[in-house]
Chain A
Amino acid sequence: MREDVQVLFKNRRPGETLFLDGYRAAGGYQALKKALTRMTPEEVVEEVKAAGLRGRGGSGFPTGQKWSFIPRGKPGIKYLVCNGDEMEPGTYKDRQLLLADPHQLIEGLLIAAYALQTEVAYIFLRYAYEDCARRVERALAEARQAGFLGDNILGSGFSCEVRLHRSAGRYILGEETALLNGLEGRRPNPRAKPPFPVNEGLFGRPTVINNVETLANVPHIIGGGAAWYRGLALTEDGAGTKIVGLSGHLEKTRCVELPLGVPLGEIIEHHGGGVWRGRRFKACLPGGASTAFLTREHLSVPMDFDALTAARSRLGTACITVFDDRTCMLAATLNLTRFFARESCGWCTPCRDGLAMVVWLLEKIEGGTANQDDIHMLQDQARNISGQTMTGAMSGPMRKDYVFKVGARAFCPLADGAMAPVEALLRLFRDEVEEHVKKGRCPF
Chain B
Amino acid sequence: MSQILPQDQIDAWQEKLADHQHPMELAVDVLRAIQHHHGWVPDEGVELAARLLGTTPLKVEELATFYDKIYRRPVGRRVIRLCDSICCWSRGGEDIAAYLQKKLGITLGETSSDGAFTLLPSCCLGACGEAPAMMIGLKLHGNLTVERIDQILAAEGGEARP
Contact = CB atoms under 8 A, between A and B. Distances in A.
A106 to B, nearest CB: 20
Contacts of A169: 67-69, 123
Given A168-B31, A187-B63, A319-B128, A89 B26 contact: no
B150 to A, nearest CB: 23
A86 B85 contact: no
Contacts of A95: 126-127
A426 interface: no
Contact of A321 (B53, B87, B140): B87
Contacts of A170: 66-68
Interface string B30-65: 011000000000000000000001000000001100
A86 B129 contact: no
Nearest to A127: B69
Contacts of B27: 185
Contacts of A374: none
A186 B60 CA distance: 9
A168 B70 contact: yes
A249 B90 contact: yes
Interface residues on B, range: 35 or more
A83 interface: no
B22 A203 contact: yes
Nearest to B26: A185
Nearest to A134: B138
A89 B128 contact: yes
A131 B140 contact: yes
Contacts, number: 129
A165 to B, nearest CB: 8
Contact of A336 (B53, B67, B86): B86
Contacts of B128: 89-92, 245, 247, 253, 319, 321
Interface string A316-328: 0001010100010
A128 B126 contact: yes
A335 B88 CA distance: 10
Contacts of B68: 168-170
Interface in A173-188: 182-188
Contact of B124 (A87, A182, A185, A246): A87
Contacts of B25: 165, 183-185
Give me the 6 closest cross-chain CB pairs, A-B, nearest first: A185-B24, A168-B67, A89-B85, A185-B27, A247-B128, A89-B124
Interface of B: 22-29, 31-32, 53, 62-63, 66-70, 84-87, 89-91, 123-131, 135, 138, 140
Interface of A: 86-92, 94-95, 126-131, 165-171, 182-188, 203, 245-249, 253-255, 285, 289, 319, 321, 323, 327, 332, 335-336, 338-339, 342-343, 345
